[in-house]
Every structure is written in C-alpha cells, then in structure tokens.
Homo-oligomer: A and B are copies of this chain.
Amino acid sequence: MKRTDPVLLEVARGDRPADVVLRGGRVVNVFGREIEDVDIAIVGDRIAGLGSYDGQQIIDLGGAFVAPGFIDAHMHVESTMLLPPEFVRVAAPHGTTGVVLDPHEIANVHGIAGIKLLMDQSRSLPMNLFFTASSCVPSSPLETSGAELSAADLAPLFDDDRVIGLAEMMNFPGVVFADAGVLEKIRLGLERRVVDGHCPGLSGNHLNAYVAAGISSEHESTTADEAREKLRRGMHLFIREGSAARNVEALVPLVTPENAHRISFCTDDRHPGDLIEHGHIDHVVRRAISLGLDPVTAIAMATIHTADHFRLPDLGGIAPGRYADLVVFERLEDLRPDRVFFHGELIAEGGQFMGSIDPRPLDGSAVAIGLSVRLPDDLNESRLRVEAPGGAIRGIEMDPHQLWTGQRAVEPKVVDGAIGADTARDILKLAVIERHRGSGNIGVGFVHGFGLRAGALASTVGHDAHNLSIVGTNDADMIAAARALERVGGGQCVVKDGQVLALLELPIAGLISVHPAERVAEMQAGLRAAAATLGCPHEDPFMPLSFLSLPVIPKLKLTDLGLVDVEQFEVVSLSAE
C-alpha cells in the first residue's frame, strides 16, 4: 500500500486491528542507534506503528531482537552465478531484504540485452532489488568486451524507476581527465540520484577531481588511511566484504560514532558456496562485530545508512510507514537471522526460505540460451606460443586474497626459443582469449604465485570483459580447457592430460548457471578439489584466475590485448628490459 493509504493510517492510529503484531521484541532502532523494547504493528506490506496495538495475528518474539532487513549497498549478482530468483531464495534467509545491483558482468557480455535480462528476472521477488546503470562497459579500452555502452545506450535504462543511479565509475582516469563520454554518463546518474565510485588507491588532487565530478560513494578502499581520506572528501564509504575482496578487518577500526552514518556495507562479489555456508550481509555484520564494532552500529551500517545514502525513505528502519522488512534474531553479538519478514510476510525461518517465487521464463534470445563463447577456429597450441624477447620479462605477482597484483621481473624458462611455464619456480602461463566476437585476440603472460603443478584451469568468468582466462602448466591442456568450455557455452573447468577433471557449466553469458545454488556450490567444490589434485594450494583458485584479467585494479593484469600496467593505464610489453 502507499504511505497515504487511509487503511495504513487507520491501523496506525489504532482504530483498526493490524494484520500482524510482533510483540515482546527488542527493536534495534537504527535512527539513534539504540535498543527499544516496543511492539511492532504491521498492515499489508508496511509497518503501521510502534507501541501498543491489537492485531489479527500476534507473534510473540519472546525477547528476541528485531532489526530492519539488511541491504547490500553494491553487488554484482552474477558473482553468485545465480539468476535473481535463485539468489533471492538463498540470500533472503540470511536477512537480506534489499540489494543495489550493478549488472556490470552480464553487460560486458551481452550489453543492454544482458542488463534487461537481469532486470526482468528481478521483478516480483521478495526482496527490494535496485539497479545502477553499469558505467564501464568495457571497464577500460585495454580489453575487448562483448558490448560497449555509451551514455546514449544507458539513458533508456533510467526509464525504469528501479534504476537509482550510475554504477561504480571504474574509469577514474576518464573522470579525472574529463573524458567527455565519461562525464556524460555521470550527468545521467546525477540527474537520477547518485553516482557510485570505484577508485582504488586514488588520493590527493586526483581524488579531489574524482569527487568534484559528483561521485559520492566508493567501495575499493583497502586501508583505513585510504578510506579516511575518501570520507573526509565527502564520499559515503561502502566497506566491502565479499568472496573476492575482504576489507572489513582493515576498515572497521575507522568507524566512529561520528562518521558511521556515512558508512555502509557491501559484498561486491559473493560466490554461491559462501552465500550458502557463510551468509550475505549478515556475515559482514557478524564479522564487523567480531572485530569489535558495536553491534547496533554495525546493523545501522547494514540498513538505514545505506537507505539514506540511496534516498530510499521506505527502507532501512523500523518506523511507521516503512516497509515491514525485518530480521529477528536471538543474540546481538553473534547475529544469526532466525525469522525474516519481507513486506510483512514471513519469508524465512531457521535458515529455510518459506516465501514463494514464481520463476520468470527466460526468453529465447542469445542472452539466455548460451551463444556467448566464440573462439577462433584456428585456436591451437601455436596461438599460445610466446617468443622469448631476451632478458627478463614482466611477471604478474599474485596474492590469492587480493584483487591487487604486483609486478615482478622474471627470468624466463626458454625452450626452443619460446617461453614456457616453469612449475619449479611457480611460473605459469596465463592466456586471455577474446570470446565475444571471434576476433582472435589472445593475450599471453606469466604469473607467479598460482601454485598449479600440472594441467590447466579455464574460466569464462574473467573480470571485467569476461573473456576466456586460462592458467596452465602446458599449452595442450590449456587449449583442451578452452575447447571444453566452448562446447558447453561457458563455465569453469579443470583439465589434466587433455581430460576434463571437473566442469561447471555457466550457459547464461558464460557467467550464470541454471542450477539451484546448492548444485552450483557442489560443482564449485568439485572444481576446487580437482585443482587441489593438481597441486594448487589456494582455497579457491578460480577467484584469482577470474580477476587476473581485471585492468582497473593495479598493478599488472592480462587482457586479450596483452599485459596492462593499470597505474600507467596502458598495454605494456612482456619484456621487462
């Protein structure tokens, strides 16, 4: 119902019984960050009032806590490898009732058609799903994506009220140096509401320029100093704790009672296994509390401060007129959502989803039916051959827990004039094959720190252009892995001696599965187990593999166009001389 519905007001003033009264709960009042022992009256999808009410149904909370439903301030749902209905089914029991989605990944594969697929799949679900228009498709000119979206392409997206701003503007050099097309996109976002940022490591005068342009939030800070500077320049901070990047530990010490209202939580990326096993924003809240953050402050950062930033006055707090999106739990210190209400309906209890979801049919377009992996016909081992340039080469130094990489000078192992992997020194070959247009572009480089001892891993999830990324100990297995993914229309696989040891099919855009979350998580576990048999020591080697191609996070990355020095924002030669 609307705010001005007379029935809402009638229940609020106590002249008509509420549909539901939650009695005996301890309300986490996020407005002043305090606990208030008060009953909650609900009518339809909204909270009618707090205080003394009669209701057709009385639910005794027996002293349990009630908080507003959690909101993820920034997330790519593609990272869950699930379509929105399946994501909601899994995330809702963790207390998530709102997410601001950036459909950046599918946009890089299928453009506006991909965005529209996700927006269509997000309708009529028991979760408040908002969108920001993906600003950087491709994320940089230093890679080949499946689409290029200009401001004119994005403009029609804003016809949908669910689009509340422009998504993370990764092209920070474009902003700072006033690229006309970039500024045009920012104007679109400012006209609608907000422009989200992405400027890892940006500082000083260049940060000033980035903020001056109107970008008002950011989630890439990895140190308290970096985050503090962004806060001081007026940005709203999203502290990110996802499957890929985890910044809560570094940033929670920054939170004070004075600045907490300018800080929110986001996951950015959340893999299906983590989502099922560890949770979503509730996991971030628990982690922040375990690191010493006041629980009520942590909850406020997961709710009202996010709603306020995005100007969503119907969300984020337990107050008259707002949506009855609520999370009930027993303990503040180790917050485990027990019951979850969305728009007044109990949709999850004890971790089990109890709501109803009518899956929307996928349409028959290429977006939906898996025509996103087009490899060169002549793809064979010779296309991966790298002539030794003489002298040291630039190697990518990988940290399995960070999106940032380093650069190290490597003396290559040369056989027959070509550089090969050298497992003895943990130098592996990395290839990124353009898969959208059949251009034949292949970038080849070398990475230290991956730890694979045999075989190859391949993935069509490869940020941000989502070309085909392959890491391997030998060219034959790398080609076999590529062909295996081409056959199934995208996914991730582990290959040894030409045999596919494990495979996860991702037929939608090469990013998203059509299976239930639990099945996807199982298949991911299979991939990890297979990689472990090949000697790879990392918990989830596909995570770093999918980010080694991301040319917007420093320092050295590999795209289909070659090695990219992100700080210089240019393709550089393999030779380190």
Contact A213 B3 (CB under 8 A): yes
Partner of A209, one of B32, B313, B320: B320
Partner of A176, one of B9, B47, B207, B211: B9
Contact A6 B232 (CB under 8 A): no
9 examples of A-B residue contacts, CB within 8 angstroms: A9-B209, A31-B262, A34-B258, A50-B208, A212-B320, A216-B313, A233-B320, A234-B321, A261-B261
Contact A50 B257 (CB under 8 A): no
Contact B33 A259 (CB under 8 A): yes
- Whether A320 touches B31, Cβ cut-off 8 Å, given contacts A4-B183, A12-B212, is no
Chain B residues near A214 (CB, 8 Å)? Answer: 3-4, 313, 321
**Across the A-B interface, the 8 shortest Cβ-Cβ residue pairs:** A49-B208, A234-B319, A257-B257, A212-B321, A32-B259, A12-B209, A212-B320, A6-B178
Q: Which residues on A are within 8 Å of B, measured CB to CB?
A: 2-4, 6, 8-10, 12-14, 29, 31-34, 36, 46-53, 175-178, 183, 186-187, 190, 204-214, 216, 228, 231-234, 256-262, 297, 308, 311, 313, 317, 319-322
Chain B residues near A216 (CB, 8 Å)? Answer: 313
Describe A's contact surface by its main secondary structure: mixed
Contact A208 B48 (CB under 8 A): yes
Contact A205 B12 (CB under 8 A): yes
Chain B residues near A29 (CB, 8 Å)? Answer: 232
Chain B residues near A31 (CB, 8 Å)? Answer: 231-234, 259, 262
Chain B residues near A297 (CB, 8 Å)? Answer: 258
Tell me the complex Cα distance, A205–B571, Å: 65
Contact A204 B3 (CB under 8 A): no
Contact B319 A233 (CB under 8 A): yes
Partner of A322, one of B48, B231, B234: B234
Contact B32 A208 (CB under 8 A): no
- Whether A4 touches B311, Cβ cut-off 8 Å, given contacts A232-B32, A258-B33, is no
Q: Would you give the shortest CB distance from A557 to chain B, in whole angstroms?
A: 24
Chain B residues near A231 (CB, 8 Å)? Answer: 31-32
A297 (CB) vs chain B CBs: closest residue: B258
Tell me the complex Cα distance, A204–B48, Å: 12
Tell me the complex Cα distance, A88–B33, Å: 38
Chain B residues near A46 (CB, 8 Å)? Answer: 212
Q: Would you give the shortest CB distance from A11 to chain B, in whole angstroms?
A: 8
Chain B residues near A2 (CB, 8 Å)? Answer: 187
Partner of A257, one of B4, B10, B258: B258
Contact B208 A51 (CB under 8 A): yes
Contact A205 B319 (CB under 8 A): no
Interface centre among A47, A51, A258, A262 (most CB of B within 10 A): A258
- Whether A4 touches B209, Cβ cut-off 8 Å, given contacts A32-B258, A234-B322, is no
Tell me the complex Cα distance, A320–B229, Å: 12
Chain B residues near A3 (CB, 8 Å)? Answer: 186, 190, 212-214
Contact A14 B178 (CB under 8 A): no
Q: Would you give the shortest CB distance from A433 to chain B, in whole angstroms?
A: 37
Contact A178 B9 (CB under 8 A): yes
Contact A49 B212 (CB under 8 A): yes
Chain B residues near A209 (CB, 8 Å)? Answer: 9, 12-13, 48-49, 320
Partner of A311, one of B34, B208, B258, B311: B311
Q: Would you give the shortest CB distance from A3 to chain B, in whole angstroms?
A: 4
Q: Would you give the shortest CB distance from A205 to chain B, in whole angstroms?
A: 4
Partner of A212, one of B9, B175, B205, B259: B9
A203 (CB) vs chain B CBs: closest residue: B51
Chain B residues near A187 (CB, 8 Å)? Answer: 2, 4
Contact B321 A213 (CB under 8 A): yes
Contact B206 A13 (CB under 8 A): yes
- Whether A320 touches B208, Cβ cut-off 8 Å, given contacts A31-B232, A178-B10, is yes
Chain B residues near A48 (CB, 8 Å)? Answer: 208-209, 212
Chain B residues near A190 (CB, 8 Å)? Answer: 3-4
A180 (CB) vs chain B CBs: closest residue: B6
A175 (CB) vs chain B CBs: closest residue: B9
A8 (CB) vs chain B CBs: closest residue: B212
Tell me the complex Cα distance, A11–B51, Å: 54
Contact B13 A208 (CB under 8 A): yes
Contact B32 A256 (CB under 8 A): yes
Tell me the complex Cα distance, A176–B256, Å: 38
Contact B205 A13 (CB under 8 A): yes
